Amino acid sequence: MTPIRALALLAFTALAACGADGEPVQPSLNANVGVSGNGTNVGGAVGLHRGPFNLYLGF
């Protein structure tokens, strides 16, 4: 992803989250922690929902 696209995505997300285009969008957060014999793994996702549009970013 180019720096311009990353900046545009960040700006769009911030605009949607602050409510400048209507009601603020409440983000959702999912977090996972797993422990097994092979070690520990951590992951999660952040999501935004607005009408039929859903955006999830996993980490």
Please give the pLDDT value at position 19: 63
Report the pLDDT value the prediction gives residue 58, as an integer from 0 to 100. Answer: 87
What pTM did the predictor assign?
0.47
> Do 37 and 46 form a contact (C-beta atoms < 8 A)?
no
* pLDDT reported for residue 36: 92
Residue 43 and residue 59 in contact, taking contact as beta carbons nearer than 8 Å: yes
Rounded CA gap, 46 and 23, in Å? 19
pLDDT of residue 21: 61
Per-10-residue mean pLDDT, the chain, length 59: 83 73 78 92 89 84
* pLDDT value, residue 11: 83
* Residue from 31, 23, 33, 25 nearest 55 by CA: 25
**pLDDT for position 8:** 86
